[in-house]
Structure 1
Amino acid sequence: MKAISIHPEPVMEILSGKKIEEYRSWSTHHRGPLLICSTAIKTPGCISGHAVCIVDLVDVKKLDEESYAWIFSEVRCIKPFPIKGQRRLYHVPDDRIVEPEAGEFVIEAGEKVVTEEFWQEYYLSLIQQ
């Protein structure tokens, strides 16, 4: 799967569904699933150095000569795993990506939402104090 590394604070906003656009100085032809990875910068209240979720990259809009808005939809939790980030888009083997299984999520408004137990087991322990 294609992946991108982003600083921890915006990653937490993407994970929570609050941030649906990412601004870059470059465009991409890629559309579809994109693994969101948090850089290793230690940031209080954030997860650092891990792949944390999958989004669908649905569009890239040119804002000006050197600025693009990457438009995300459909945030999906995964079982986070340590990863060494890279610049630009990079490939992460699909077998490293584990989505929640039956019993680890519920369906709310047509979307998979992880249970509180899943959140506590896989995410809370990774948040920097």
Structure 2
Amino acid sequence: MGAILRADDRRWYAVYGGIRFRAIRVIVDCSLADGTMTPDSALVFMNNMLGENTDYFTAEIRRYCANPTTALCYLTGKLIILDMLNKARRIESNSFSLRRFHDRLLAEGTISPNLIALKLGYKE
């Protein structure tokens, strides 16, 4: 008899699925950019790793070919923002407000997360 997933388990299963997709996306994006994968081999890889979804993966692969390393930039930006968040929590301690952090972050517009970190004092 199979294990029964509780609601929390199903939620985390979905979260891990998203993390897995983003990791595979970075591998494919970088491999296409450096020539170690072709679009066809990338499609086979994504279907093998994530389950068959040929139409969606084909569109994603076309996007990676048109805009190389975009997926990697998303991940890098996320890590920089998480680092800023941790530093803000540490610096502001009990006065930290997630809403205020988001307001400061978003007020900077579409500039690089590295530049935002410098401007807000979270990076030297």
Q: Same fold (TM over 0.5)?
A: no
* TM-score of the superposed pair, with normalisation by structure 1: 0.23
Higher relative contact order (CA 8 A, sep 6+): 1
Higher strand proportion? 1
Structure with greater helix share of residues? 2
